[in-house]
Amino acid sequence: MAILLFSFVCLGTPFYPVHAAPKNLSKVFMWSVQGPKSKVFLLGSMHMFKAASYPLEPRIEKAYQSCPRVVFEADLEGPGTDEIRDMMLKLGTYHDGKTLPKEISEKTYALFKERVEANNLKVEQFDTYRPWFAALSIATVELKRFGFTAENGLDAHFSDEAVSDKKKMIYLETARQQLDLLANALPGKEEDLLKQALEEIAVLEKASAEMVQAWKAGDAARMEAFTQKSLKEFPEVEKKLFTERNKAWTTRILRLLSQEGDVFVVVGAGHLVGKGGLLEMLKAKGYNVVQQ
């Protein structure tokens, strides 16, 4: 689903300053913003990515290396703790006799069943799942089938590097906040999260290779088109998962720009693009946003 995918050094490569890429090089999916005391680099992440997409373009790695502070959406280790795992099960499953097939439309359940069985799983094992948890589960399974894994995601890649390099790591949200968001964002319309996830899976199935190429080419317009293709029928999902969070994140980024020490920010690619994206919000605040 959107929160998963859009929510990633080459030796012997000539050095190019991170603030000015040579004209013969294409852009990358990264932007910079100069503040009063520091510079922020904004990298659009693919939370789940392919091993074949590495190594990354050197400009991305050099930008990371230049920053003493690294910002992520949430702590990747959080969901691995027993407390968060228990919370996920508590918030993501029914405990009052309700079941997934009874709480969503027959059409949505049929589409979900088709996806589940395509992965040689039994749909009955998901019957106690709430729609948002079913969406998260099937999205993860399908993305792995397409060759995308969280282990190869840009968040994981730079989180590992930041730990190794002992950089200061900052988180925009906690794992608990993200779970609360998914569980409570759309009261009465939770099925929309599952429907949107199924739509996004269909888009990826047809165009995952093209999406990866758009990311590598730094093509924000194409990436926005992919994002909107699965979100256009679900404005409330877009508002809750993207626009409202982007506003809060913009406030945090502005604060970082007023502090000493450059910052490397890794957030889902879908959070950067579009009218409600971080890039436009920063421009609206009077900042010059430059693609690298």
Instruction: Convert the pLDDT of each residue in 207-265 to its tens digit.
Output: 888 989 999 999 999 999 888 887 888 899 899 999 999 999 999 999 999 999 999 99
Q: Are 37 and 258 in contact (CB under 8 A)?
A: yes
Distance CA(274)–CA(234), nearest Å, equals 15
Going from N- to C-terminal start, the domains of the chain cover: 26-291
Res 94 pLDDT > 80:
yes
Alpha helices in the chain (DSSP H): 2-5, 58-65, 82-92, 100-103, 106-118, 131-145, 154-165, 175-184, 191-216, 220-231, 235-238, 244-257, 278-284
- Residue 129 DSSP one-character state: B
% the chain with pLDDT above 70 = 89
Res 282 pLDDT > 60:
yes
Which two structure tokens, joined as six digits, stand for 103? Answer: 């709480």
**Predicted confidence (pLDDT) per residue in 139-164, tens digit:** 989 989 988 998 999 999 999 999 99
